[in-house]
Amino acid sequence: MQNDLFSEIAVTDVASVITPEAQRAAILRTELERHSHAYYVLDAPTIPDGEYDKLFLELQQLEEQFPALRTPDSPTLRVGGAPLAEFGQVQHAVPMLSLNNAFEDADIQAFDRRISEGLEAGSHASPQIDYAIDLKFDGLAINLRYVNGVFTQAATRGDGFVGEDVTENIRTVRSIPLRLNTPKPPAILDIRGEVLMFKSDFARLNQRQRDAGSKEFANPRNAAAGSLRQLDSKVTAQRHLRFFAYGIGLLEGAPLPESHRALLDWYQSMGVPVCDENAVVQGADGLLNFYRAIQVKRSTLAYEIDGVVYKVNDFAQQEELGFVSRAPRFAIAHKFPAEEALTIVQGIDIQVGRTGALTPVARLAPVFVGGVTITNATLHNEDEIRRKDVRIGDTVIVRRAGDVIPEVLAVVLERRPEPAPAAFEMLKNCPVCGSHVVREVGEAIARCTGGWFCSAQRKEALRHFAARKMMDIDGLGERYIENLVEFDYVRGIADLYKLTLSDLLEMKRRADEREGVIPETVQQGKIATKWAENLILAIDNSKRPPIERFLFALGIRHVGESTAKTVAEWLGSLALIRRAPLSLFLVLPDIGPAVAEAIADFFIEEKNQQALDELLLAGVAPQGEHPPSAKLSQQLETSVLLSALSIPKLTATRCKQLQERGVTLASLAAIADDGFVQLGLPADVNLALREWLSVANNKAQLNQLDYLRKMLLEQMPEALANEGLLAGKTFVLTGTLPSLSREQASALIEAAGGKVAGSVSKKTSYVVAGDEAGSKLLKAQELGVSILTEAELLQIVVGA
């Protein structure tokens, strides 16, 4: 289906020309457009980018050589042409109207009633009413004119009657077909829809703007507008605009489809992009259900929307309902609550996080946005404030989308007060503890160096430690944490476990005193103690956390719930984890270098080791510790460990070769000068390895790792036996085996702890091949996967 999308065009095109060059050009045009469509509309690329570029270049050269071969639908025009002095004006054949907006459920129920009543008033007694629902795209409305199927003109909405001619810019939008894929195109077709920018393209564009020191765009809509209104279409071509069709203007020379849905299907069949998030429903409930579902899905969409649009599906019914002033009666936009609003920055506070990160936060004049009133918004970091140039007194655009933290998007410079307020400067000292602030090279975040000394960090760390998914200390809320830290009852985390009833009561008394309150109980000459007893109980109850929660609770940078789980599952015990070298974390699955380093760094720090000891001494005992996972044995192969060390030029394949040649970590550490030749490595690799080994620390690291490896492997065999000989291995069966049926072979493999998969990939450990093995065997050979006969399999599994 995909393949012959444009084949009809190829035939007509080729038939009407004669020279071989003309034929080739026609084929190239068709091919290029087919690949473009597959890439930009179907999201299913058909050829590698390089191949596309080659074909493109070939067509460009042909057209240069034979200018007569240039056609208005040539993809070579998509790269943009000479800049314009100004945009021409275009009168819309059919005016481009706007929609009435609705925000409340009641507005939608009223809309549904109006439609029913409107149609009942006509000839029909009780008509069937279907509503077509589209998304309301947050872009710019555009009219695309196709004459005899060829794209000839694009115009913006303008005032609805006259718009700007942006033909050359629109030609650069790859998903818009330059020729409609239909054998019988209408004489004139005005397709209406929205030009927009995907969120990912927007992020990339702003990154480029940042890198070039140019101004960033506040949102994808502004970026789309700015890109479409470029006099230089070459600039537009770089911007990756997209298009979704949702309406029609003038149509001549073809029958109008019967409904909105049919119109979109027709467009789609001609290769015009139509968004696939749409529906046909009945009644107000149908409309509201779709609205709610899409509201949930909104943040996962590739583009921004600001609501949905409901249209009576049937065109005859649409016509019957007609228009009121400049908006149709048959349609309405159901908008989401605004997510952006203007407000004034009253101050810039600096907050100190658990890891000491200093986050500037804008204090705002309260403003209603995205359904709630917000009074502050994050400014992320120093660079961000500078880039956006946010100053106190500025009017800013703030955004709050879904559950995301509100942020300041941009400053409205025209509204900056006179004289201009001073530019933002990051503090040199922590606003909480006064320790000096550092910002490491390459880091965007400035940090307080106070660590546990800084009460802000202490509070945050305690909050994290006590939270539900960590130590789950019920009742240790915000206020108690504040007081415990401010009155110095908790200096180290372990102090939590030393608190007595009288400590807590005294703390409460001091807090009341400071706030000048005398609780009712005190007035009555009594002291409330229940809360303190409960809190002490809750603290005591938290002493036996599962090991993974305990790890999570420590507040190691980058270590979230799932990383903590992985580490606990693979390494098993705190004793091992707290002494493990970086390279051991590096070989664990799903743990990248930054995370591995953060874990190793945490445990290298003497004061963290001390804090751990104190916790253990205070009676905290992680539960569910176990020997290292049997799965770890594979990660402990010499080649895997070597590869984790990232020795320059020593690729994973080279590490494998070394292992195959019998090299061990210890032998490498002890290698003599004349030993290098025997490694069989190319000269440059040899040299890099030699250099690496000449650093004393690296040799020590190898020896330490070798020792650790042996120790771990010794701890493991029992677990290994339990998990089976083939644990972690994946098998693929192909062909007919001499004696075993497929089921029998699978059962044998699975009984030994292995897995049986249906297709061969790089992850396949072995392919077991019998007679008439087909493509799977070929694939295995291609990928270099080991191939076994039935006899070999039996030997491994049952020793037969």
Tell me which residue of 332, 369, 371 sits closest to 107, measured CA to CA.
332
* CA–CA dist 638, 713 (Å, integer): 12
For residue 307, give both structure tokens: 């609501």
Stretch binding ligand IVH (CB under 6 A), from 266-274, 326-334, 335-343, 630-638: 326-334
Instruction: Return the residues of window 677-696 that contact ligand IVH according to CB under 6 A.
Output: none
* Dist. CA 358–CA 381, nearest whole Å: 8
333 binds ligand IVH (CB under 6 A): yes
| Rounded CA separation 657/644 (Å) | 15
How many other C-beta atoms are found inside a 10 Å radius of the C-beta of residue 148?
Answer: 14
Q: Which residue in the set 118, 149, 177, 247 belongs to the binding site for ligand IVH (CB under 6 A)?
A: 247
Contacts of 113 (CB under 8 A, 6+ apart): none
CB 282 within 8 A of CB 129: yes
* Of 23, 46, 60, 98, the one binding ligand IVH by CB under 6 A: 98
Q: How far is the CB of 381 from ligand IVH (least distance, A)?
A: 35
DSSP-derived pairing of the beta strands 437-438 and 407-411: unpaired
Q: Is 239 in the site for ligand IVH (CB under 6 A)?
A: no
| Pairing between β-strand 395-399 and β-strand 447-448 as defined by DSSP bridges | unpaired
Dihedral over Cα of 497, 501, 502, 504: its sign? positive
| CA–CA gap between residue 260 and residue 363 (Å, rounded) | 47
Query: CB of residue 223 vs ligand IVH: minimum separation in angstroms?
Result: 16
Q: How far is the C-alpha of 181 from the C-alpha of 770, rounded, in Å? A: 48
Under the binding rule (CB under 6 A), the answer on residue 194 touching ligand IVH is yes
Give SS3 for 784: coil
Work out whether 310 is an interface residue with ligand IVH (CB under 6 A).
no
CB closer to ligand IVH out of 318 and 343: 318
Pairing relationship of beta strands 730-734 and 766-769 according to DSSP bridges: parallel
Residue 97 interacts with ligand IVH (CB under 6 A): yes or no: yes
Give the separation between CA 621 and CA 596, rounded to whole angstroms: 24
Residue 157 as a binder of ligand IVH (CB under 6 A): the answer is: yes
CB of 322 to ligand IVH, least distance (A): 12
134 binds ligand IVH (CB under 6 A): yes
Distance, in Å, from the CA atom of 218 to the CA atom of 206, rounded to the nearest integer, reads 9
Task: Give min distance, CB of 231 to ligand IVH, in A.
Answer: 22
Minimum CB distance to ligand IVH smaller for 303 or for 465: 303
Kindly indicate which of the ranges 22-30, 128-136, 509-517, 666-674 contains the residues binding ligand IVH, using the contact rule CB under 6 A.
128-136
Q: Is 99 in the site for ligand IVH (CB under 6 A)?
A: yes
Q: Strand pairing of 730-734 and 755-757?
A: parallel
- 294 in contact with ligand IVH (CB under 6 A): no
Region of 4-12, 91-99, 355-363, 398-406 interacting with ligand IVH (CB under 6 A): 91-99
Q: Nearest approach, Cβ of 296 to ligand IVH (angstroms)?
A: 19
Please choose, out of 136-144, 181-189, 366-374, 650-658, the segment that lies near ligand IVH by the rule CB under 6 A. Answer: 136-144
Among the residue ranges 56-64, 97-105, 644-652, 670-678, the one whose residues contact ligand IVH (CB under 6 A): 97-105
Mask 439-478, x = binds ligand IVH (CB under 6 A)? ----------------------------------------
Reduced to 3 states (helix: H, G, I; strand: E, B; else coil), residue 164 is strand
Of 173, 163, 164, 215, nearest to 196 by C-alpha is 173
Residue given tokens 């049997």 in the structure block: 630
How far is residue 212's CA from residue 275's CA, in Å, rounded to a whole number?
33
Task: Determine, following the binding rule CB under 6 A, whether residue 287 of this chain makes contact with ligand IVH.
Answer: no
Which residue stretch of 124-132, 328-336, 434-442, 523-531 sits at the interface with ligand IVH (rule: CB under 6 A)? 328-336
Beta carbons within 10 angstroms of residue 117's beta carbon: 9
- Closer residue to ligand IVH in complex, CB, 331/733: 331
Nearer to ligand IVH among residue 327 and residue 670 (C-beta):
327
Burial class of residue 393 (count of CB atoms within 10 Å of its CB; 0-12, 13-18, 19+) = middle
67 burial via Cβ count (<10 Å: 0-12, 13-18, 19+): exposed
Tokens in use for 756? 């049986």
Q: Please say which residue, 160 or 183, places its beta carbon nearer to ligand IVH.
A: 160
Determine, following the binding rule CB under 6 A, whether residue 395 of this chain makes contact with ligand IVH: no
Residue 133 beta carbon to ligand IVH: minimum distance, rounded to whole angstroms: 9
**How much is the CA Rg of the chain, to the nearest whole Å?**
34
A 10 A CB-CB count for 630 gives 19
Q: Among residues 194 and 407, whose Cβ is nearest to ligand IVH?
A: 194
Nearest to 356 by CA among 477, 448, 242: 448
Residue 308 beta carbon to ligand IVH: minimum distance, rounded to whole angstroms: 8
Q: Helices marked H in 478-529 — which ranges?
A: 478-486, 501-515, 520-523
Site for ligand IVH contains 180 (CB under 6 A): no
Q: Which is nearer to ligand IVH, 157 or 459 (CB)?
A: 157
Locate 454 and state its tokens: 């800084």
Closest distance to ligand IVH from the beta carbon of 157 (Å): 6
Nearer to ligand IVH (CB atom), residue 141 or residue 180: 141
DSSP state of 76: G
Minimum distance of ligand IVH from residue 256's CB (angstroms): 15
Alpha-carbon distances of 754 from 411, 730, 800, rounded to whole Å: 60, 6, 18
87, 111, 217, 246: which one contacts ligand IVH (CB under 6 A)?
A: 246
* Token pair of 770 as six digits: 């019998």
Q: Which stretch binds ligand IVH (CB under 6 A): 113-121, 130-138, 235-243, 429-437?
A: 130-138
Residue (of 315, 333, 332) closest to 137 by Cα position = 333
Please work out the total of residues on this chain that contact ligand IVH, with binding judged by CB under 6 A.
16
The residues assigned a catalytic role are 136
CB neighbours of residue 687 within 10 Å: 14
Among the listed residues 331, 476, 576, 615, the single contact to ligand IVH using CB under 6 A: 331
The one among 141, 154, 437, 668 contacting ligand IVH by CB under 6 A = 141
Residue 380 binding ligand IVH, by CB under 6 A: no
Closer to ligand IVH by Cβ: residue 29 or 136: 136
Which residue reads 């004489």 in tokens?
187
Residue 488 in 3-state DSSP? coil
Encoded tokens for 110:
């009223």
Residue 241 Cβ vs ligand IVH, minimum distance, rounded to whole Å: 14
Which residue, 246 or 266, has its beta carbon nearer to ligand IVH?
Answer: 246
- Considering the rule CB under 6 A, would residue 196 count as an interface residue with ligand IVH? no
Look at residues 435, 422, 463, 439 and name the one whose alpha carbon lies nearest to residue 359: 439
- Quick one: which segment of 33-41, 131-139, 350-358, 428-436 binds ligand IVH (CB under 6 A)? 131-139
303 binds ligand IVH (CB under 6 A): no
Cβ of 335: how many Cβ atoms within 10 Å?
Answer: 18
Q: Which among 92-100, 313-321, 390-398, 584-592 is the span making contact with ligand IVH, rule CB under 6 A?
A: 92-100
Q: Does 136 bind ligand IVH (CB under 6 A)?
A: yes
Is 222 a binding residue for ligand IVH by CB under 6 A? The answer is no
Please say whether the beta carbons of 559 and 545 come within 8 A.
Answer: no
Give the position of tokens 């030029």: 649
CB of 253 to ligand IVH, least distance (A): 23
Q: Is residue 268 close enough to count as binding ligand IVH by CB under 6 A?
A: no
Determine, following the binding rule CB under 6 A, whether residue 309 of this chain makes contact with ligand IVH. Answer: yes
Instruction: Give the nearest distance from C-beta 336 to ligand IVH in angstroms.
Output: 13
Write down the least CB distance from residue 100 to ligand IVH, Å.
8
Site of interaction with ligand IVH (CB under 6 A):
97-99, 134-137, 141, 157, 194, 246-247, 309, 328, 331, 333
